[in-house]
Structure 1
């Protein structure tokens, strides 16, 4: 089985986090994980192909935003809240609060 790379806390860079969160699909994924806790990709209803969803999950993992845990054939995603809070205090909450109250989220959900 392929070992998934997760950057160490010290290797999480602001530019990578901001890039990963610049996509509305990835923002939605992170928002859903924050609300419901650990989730599989299949648990999330997003208007993209399965392979595209896998790409988004990989981008979030490589940026240090999510942790991916393999359980059988499933990959469970959880937020690395503590690591992000230590590196960039308040950043994730500020971005998710802005996304939750934005017109962009409404557009995304209605697409």
Structure 2
């Protein structure tokens, strides 16, 4: 036969179809889908309790580390990628006081 041939009323022909290319095909031998995080919560189930912020481990950053993160964020926002040799200069700039560091970040943000 030439052209399109319709399936018969039986499902025997559907069993030969690839379920990935024809997801509407009847496939009885597939295992049941495992529950995922998206569908683990059924309607009416109770959500887990919110963690207590006081029970979280507290590790404050040193001021120089905080300045380094702010400087890298300012450079990234300005589209300036530090070169590997610039890391020593960034380390030295992060040891400066907060006022000088704020001026440095302001200069970087206006240079962009």
TM-score by length of 1: 0.22
Question: Which has more helix, going by share of residues?
Answer: 1
Task: Tell which has more relative contact order, 1 or 2 (C-alpha 8 A, sep 6+).
Answer: 1
Task: Look at both structures and tell me which one has the larger radius of gyration over its CA atoms.
Answer: 2
Question: Which has more strand, going by share of residues?
Answer: 1
